[in-house]
Amino acid sequence: MPFDLEDLYRDLHSHPELSFAETRTAGLAAARLRELGLDVTEGVGRTGVVGVLANGAGPVVHLRADMDALPVTEATGLDYASTQRAVGPDGVEVGVMHACGHDMHVTWLLGALERLVATRDRWSGTVVAVFQPAEETIGGAREMVADGLVDRFPHADVVLGQHLAPLPAGVASVTSGPAMAGADTLTITMHGRGGHGSRPQSTIDPVLAAASAVVRLQSIVSREVAPGALAVVTVGSLHAGTKSNIIPAEATMGVSVRSVDADVRATLLDGIRRIVAAEATASGMTEPPTVVVDETVAATVNDPEATARVRAALETRFGAERVIDIGTLTGSEDVHELATAAGAPLVYWFVGGVDPETFSRAAAAGRVEQEIPTNHSPFFAPVLHPTIEHGVETLVTAAMEWVGRR
């Protein structure tokens, strides 16, 4: 019996789960795969699911969808909006939302597999469906690789995947070479000397040092990196103190760094360390800042030859005007780790989910950034149609470019 993909998407959107907690989502995906007759393995990389659709001799294509949601409280007002809450790894209860489209990714992949099963008399090869956990924390791909993804399942000749983006529904963006930036996540702690807020002269104020560092860190991109190079330094969190009249002993910053070029990355990281150390010295701190690199993920780089094949296939199917190239995005991904581990080419592209008329009006007014919610926004919500249908078709079209035709 065919899946109702809209019902599936609504269900997934209403029941988001944080990274490595995607048990319901994984169970649903596994059950659907079994209904389709695939060979299913659960618990790969903790909560990942792998389904194998063997259909005779031919290439092996890995199709990947990520499953995890974000610690975001939904504000879309949709009748299927998430009201879920969960306790995160830090022990704090948060709202949970599919604010990055991973619910759509799962829907697309299940819909594509249904189509490939129904048309298996037209192609030959093997399709491996990879439902990956924990993309948002850049850990899921590594966990699946460490759990034997490359050795336990048919070896990939190519890894394909797609991501929902704030582009018009019906449009896909395909970029050759670097498609997404690499990322480093740092935790920086400034060590001061606490005391009474009425006697600042008896303290070393880490809040002032951290605040100065936040401002100064922005000079790295504007003054130390060549104009036009991809480089981002964002201080996303600053935590210090418990009360207005207490100068705390420490202040902690969470910093996100994005780059593609190795030399630019080195400039950014060296500059961050230099600036926070200098601010500590300027404040008279006796202990240097603690700088911990929590996460590092390389840039997502599409194989040029394989990308050209995908682009040509999508242009033939949809028309060249609906296949664009928005260039390298400053967001980051870990899908490339699946391809790197297999020594296989990667093609990762973007599929629009915004109502085309809404997008056109915003573009005409020069207000796309202001009016079109982006990934990770509490207002992020794709229009269901034609986003579902187009995403399924793009994934099937790309897969069919490899598995061949009978």
Binding-site positions for Mn(2+) read 100, 102, 136, 163, 376
Which residues sit in the known binding site?
100, 102, 136, 163, 376
3-state secondary structure the chain: CCCCHHHHHHHHHHCCCCCCCCHHHHHHHHHHHHHCCCEEEEEECCCEEEEEEEECCCCEEEEEEECCCECCCCCCCCCCCCCCEEECCCCCEEECECCCCHHHHHHHHHHHHHHHHHCHHHECEEEEEEEECCCCCCCHHHHHHHCCHHHHCCCCCEEEEEEEEEEECCCEECCCEEEECEEEEEEEEEECECEECCCHHHCECHHHHHHHHHHHHHHHHHHHCCCCCCEEEEEEEEEECCCCCEECCEEEEEEEEEECCHHHHHHHHHHHHHHHHHHHHHCCCCCCCEEEEEEEECCEEECHHHHHHHHHHHHHHHCHHHEECCCCECCCCCCHHHHHHHCCCEEEEEEEEECHHHHHHHHHCCCHHHHCCCCCCCCCCCCHHHHHHHHHHHHHHHHHHHHCEC
